[in-house]
Structure 1
Amino acid sequence: MVFDRDAEWEALVTFACDTRPGAGLGVVSGRLRQGKTYLLKALTAALDGFCFGVQPAAQAESLRRLGDEFAQFTGVSPPNHWRGWEDAVDALLALGDRRPALVVVDEFPDLVRQSPALPSLIHSAYRRLRTTGRDNRARLLLSGSTLPVMRRLFSAASPLHGLADLELTLRPLDFRQAARFWGIDDPALALLVHAVVGGTPAYRRYAGDHALSGPDNFDAWVCRTVLNPRTPLFLEAHHLLQEETDHWDRALCHSALAAIASGCATQGKIAECLGTPLTDASRCLTLLRENGLLYSDHDAFRPNLIRLRIAEPLLAFEHATVWPCRSALEQRDAVEVWRHIRPVFDSAVAGPHFAQICRDWAMDFAGPDVFGARPVTVAHGSLPDPARRAGPDMEAEVVVRGGVGSRSRALLSVGVARWDEVMDLHHLEQLRHLLALLAARGEDVTHTRPACYSALGFTPALRAAEADGDVVLVDLHRLYRGRQADSVTVPGRR
């Protein structure tokens, strides 16, 4: 069963069933464990297509495997006459000589590593089809998890540039989809689980039969799964980094992720934490960004300030909580270790993750009525307070900008997010003070709505302020379910 991939499924079916003459080329990319292979196998099964899953091997072995699987699919003897990949590509495309025929090559970058000339051979095959005028309607889908390689394979410098009719990226499930996928009805439990495993579909299978019955069961679930050396999740963060970064300096990558998970958000602070030159830290961070493991976000109030955050929640969980005590987990009871690191999880993982979920909600689920216009950007913002020269910057975890009149990036909302606090009027006063500072700097705050996001709720006084239209309040129920007026329609597939 393909879960909640309606838009992706529709795009793939439309591409594969396109009856227009001419061979088509599609590209499917996405990080590991997102279900690309599962989706493509379901597609080929539904449309009677041919799917070849690449494995690390020598060129001759891969060509031999392809020949055997091609022969099994077509019902003819293995094509011993293939002299190389040029013949193989021609044979695959020839499946579309009489009708639209779906051909999938999964993990295509691994095949290019074995045979670097393959992109040029595919380009030449498509050019021959065009020049000979053959009525060919092959629909070739090339899939890959190595994001930098996939980008290079279809960049302007590649022979495949401009050939693709479809470019599809499979992303993790969003936080609402993930809750449904895990079968979790309680919003607090859903957010805690998402803070550990995110929206990667494969991790539910990795967790095995360990059930989640409610928030009180969360600690025991963590100990039985992510902290259990006998489950795949225990070493998944290590394997994920190993597979994504190939042969680069993994020790430095681990240390960089640990620095970010501890609160270092800029290149300079990370380099200082690592005790390494800025150039070395920058190369490491660039590698992690290219592989989709880090995001770079511009500060909402200071655009020249770039904040880094870990894209995969499991990596953030690992490096904030488990990394310092991994050897202890192999020697001591997981319950005892978790009791020691649970406060770190709450402050360094759950808190920042809650703030990110709030930003995701504002961007993807809040309708235009919530902030007065459709959000264009949602980001974290920070601003020095002249009254506290030696103190920390004022922070706003959810800063929403959007189009108002002729302004495309008007400040629609400034909000604070608190995972472990019941919010009161003093939070609203902090927001009003921040808005006054922004106005003094020349920011137009005429249409700006203060917003408070809390996992524990709000006092009656703050609820009264909401009723007067002075503040937008968002709790866990609104994040995960919301009122009809809050939400945009998100297509689902069960």
Structure 2
Amino acid sequence: MEKPADVFDRDREWDALRRFVTDESRGASLGVVSGRRRQGKSFLLEAVCESAGGFYFSAQEATDAESLASIGQALTRHLRPVVPFAPADWGQVLDVLLRMGAERPVPVVIDEFPYLVRVNPALPSILQGAYAPRRSERTSSRTRLLLCGSALSFMGKLLSGNAPLRGRASLELPIRTLGYREAARFWEIDDPRLALNVHAVVGGTPAYRTEMIRYDAPRGLDDFDDWVTRAVLSPGSPMFLEARYLLAEEPDLRDGAIYNSVLNAIANGNSGRGGIAGYVGRKSNELAHPLTVLEDAGLITREVDAFRANRTDFRIAEPLLTFYHAIMRPYWPQLSAATAIERIWERSAQRWTSNVLGPRFEQVCREWAAVYGHQRRLADLPVRVCAGTVNDPVDRRTHEVDVVAVGYADGSRAPLLALGEAKWNDVMGLGHLDRLRRIRALVGRQGRYDTDATRLLCFSGAGFTDDLVQEQSRGEVELIGLDELYGRA
């Protein structure tokens, strides 16, 4: 099973699927594939079935009877029996799927599985019965059944706790968005500055370039503004409503008002629970449920402060949502009427830099530290990379740290591998280094981390002063620009 040439990246995911579907062991097996919409799950699973001669079925929003008829018709076309297959229940369907693997390993994909369970909640229990450990139909089969779904909150519960399928699956594969480096390659953008600008708008979702924008990429930095107005802000573009659809597609997000308000609060710089509560006009304890639902849906992430265990920061996981709430939502009536689109984008320049581009740059710097930093700049592979806040009792202020890399704790204290500051538009100088030195000293006095070998990192999208470059040569500070972030230095 060689990965087809039209499947971009996804080497790890393809290898996991290949091992699963070509396993020669006796006994039918079950796998779960999940991920937000438009990440290429269906494309990848269809390619697996084509490569291994398997069966692929994509469920629709329909009644249980119609879904049974649809899969019966699909199996009839695939197996070509003498008499068309018209199943009376899902037990009969599963028996046919298990018999397909009687002679060899056969991949079977049921895509959009949550649609089926929504109208027939007993389906996971029916599957549990079909996959009973000593059931002869299972033990004599080598069917490799893959259940796929985009509703992350549902898929996350499918194998958890006391769920019927708990312990039945031998593969649990999430299909995540492309990383910022992979996204630049997918968009075929060589200029790191342009790549980060594009990433701050559309992130790493593959379909935003293919089906949604039809390969319309900015030709250069001088075309970026025109690209934003024609590809995202224009009501004629499929991307125009995409951020609103991301919420509508999640079945657990029933009260759109509170979820939109929470996302808007985060997009406007309120990452802490108290700040979000004040912004939306609710008490902090009333936000536990909406925050958990948004996190389960993969729309926000929860991050514990590196230096204050009682503080949690929430960040929007999908850049397009940040762009929508910071740039589009304030002018939604005018944008919907296609009124002054260019003027709105021009008017939003400050919010674009401070609310969208700057925070996205900081997140990319954290991703770099987590994935690539140990290759050249850090002494070891971090086990955790996050942000943090440090109290300064002498100056009576709080220092915010953009990048905190923590190593594995072999002894009583974990090593603090690095402290970093990220500035998108600022040329960084000795003042930034002095601030990091001060923070390192404060953290050292706290005693929580071992700071003996802590490195100081300066990330900049605009460059560094000559004095700071000289300090790098002395070995105390590491300077990381856009070229290194994107692996071009």
TM-score interval, smaller chain: over 0.9
Map of 1:27 onto structure 2: 32
Partner AA of 2:402 in structure 1: E
| Within-5 A mapping of 1:42-441 | 42-77=47-82, 79-80=84-85, 82-127=87-132, 130-131=135-136, 134-205=139-210, 206-246=212-252, 248-331=254-337, 332-367=339-374, 369-389=376-396, 391=397, 393-403=398-408, 406=411, 409-441=414-446
1:405 CA displacement? 5.4
- C-alpha distance in structure 2 between counterparts of 1:22 and 1:106, whole Å: 22
Q: Distance in 2 between matches of 1:475 and 1:469?
A: 17
Could you tell me which of 39, 45, 58 is aligned with 2:44? 39
Q: Does the residue aligned with 1:461 lie in a helix, a strand or coil?
A: helix
Between the aligned partners of 1:132 and 1:238, the Cα distance in structure 2 is 45
Q: Percent identity?
A: 44
Residues 415-453 of structure 1, C-alpha deviations (whole Å, 9 max, x = no match): 100011000011100111111222232243211111100
Between 116-125 and 64-73, the greater mean CA deviation after superposition = 116-125
Q: Which amino acid aligns with 1:277?
A: K
Paired with 2:436 and 2:417, the residues of 1 have a C-alpha distance of 13
- CA shift digits 1:453-480 (9 cap, x unpaired): 0011101111111011020111000000
The 5 A counterparts of 1:440-479 are 440-442=445-447, 443-479=449-485
Deviation readout 1:166-213 (Å, 9 max, x if unpaired): 111100000000000000000000001001110011110212343311
| Alpha-carbon distance change, 415 to 66 in structure 1, aligned in 2, over 3 angstroms | same
Deviation at 1:369, TM superposition (A): 4.6
**Secondary structure in structure 1 of the residue aligned to 2:249:** helix
AA aligned to 1:366 is: G
Report the Cα distance in structure 2 between the residues aligned to 1:397 and 1:77, rounded to whole angstroms. Answer: 66
Report the alpha carbon displacement of residue 155 of structure 1 after superposing the two structures with TM.
Answer: 1.5
Tell me the distance in 1 between the aligned counterparts of 2:400 and 2:140. 61
CA distance in 1, matches of 2:137, 2:424: 64
Q: Distance in 2 between matches of 1:247 and 1:177?
A: 30
Contact 1:368 1:375 in 2 (8 A): no
Count of residue correspondences: 481
Deviations 1:287-319 (A, max 9, x none): 101101010001111122100000000001111
3-state SS, counterpart of residue 240 of structure 2: helix
What is the alpha-carbon distance in structure 2 between the residues aligned to residue 33 and residue 406 of structure 1?
A: 44
- Mapped to 2, the partners of 1:482 and 1:210 lie a distance apart of 24
- The separation in 1 between residues aligned to 2:138 and 2:297, in whole angstroms, is 40
Change (3 A) 1:32 1:408: farther
For the residues of structure 1 that align with 2:137 and 2:229, how far apart are their CA atoms? 63
Residue identity opposite 1:103 in structure 2:
V
Distance (Å, rounded) in 2 between the aligned partners of 1:407 and 1:39? 45
Change in 2 beyond 3 A, CA 1:457/1:63 = same
1:207-244 alpha-carbon deviations (Å, 9 max, x no partner): 23433111121111100111010011000000011112
In structure 1, the partner of 2:3 is none
Q: Secondary structure at the match of 1:7?
A: helix
Deviation at 1:156, TM superposition (A): 2.9
Question: 1:403 deviation in Å?
Answer: 3.0
- Per the alignment, in what secondary structure is the counterpart of residue 430 of structure 1? helix
Structure 2 counterpart of 1:350, one-letter code: L
Which amino acid counterpart does residue 177 of structure 1 have in structure 2? Answer: E
Shift of 1:343: 1.4
Structure-2 separation of matches of 1:210 and 1:370 = 36
3-state DSSP class of the match of 2:387? strand
SS in 2 for 1:2: coil
Residues 38-91 of structure 1, C-alpha deviations (whole Å, 9 max, x = no match): 111111111111011011000000000000010000112564552211111111
Tell me if the contact between 2:247 and 2:253 (Cα under 8 Å) persists in the aligned partners: no
Cα distance in 1 between the residues matched to 2:251 and 2:363: 25
Gaps of 5+ in 2: 1-5
Contact kept, 8 Å, 2:383 with 2:406, in 1: the verdict is yes
Unaligned runs of 5+ in 1: 484-494
Q: Distance in 2 between matches of 1:4 and 1:73?
A: 29
Q: How far apart, CA to CA, are the structure 1 residues paired with 2:456 and 2:408?
A: 17
CA contact (8 A) 2:95 2:137 kept: no
- The answer to whether the 8 A contact 1:184-1:190 is kept is yes
Question: Which has the bigger relative contact order, CA under 8 A and spacing at least 6?
Answer: 1
Query: What SS does the corresponding residue of 1:403 show, helix, strand or coil?
Result: coil
Q: Structure 1 pair 309/128, CA: closer, same or farther in 2 (3 Å)?
A: closer
The alpha-carbon deviation at position 119 of structure 1 amounts to 1.2
Distance in 2 between residues matched to 1:36 and 1:137, nearest whole Å:
23
Q: Which amino acid aligns with 2:57?
A: F
The answer (yes or no) to whether the contact 1:71–1:77 under 8 Å persists in 2 is no
Asked if 1 retains the 8 angstrom alpha-carbon contact of 2:29 and 2:170, the reply is yes
Separation in 1, partners of 2:336, 2:156 = 39
Measure, in 2, the Cα distance between the counterparts of 1:115 and 1:460: 67
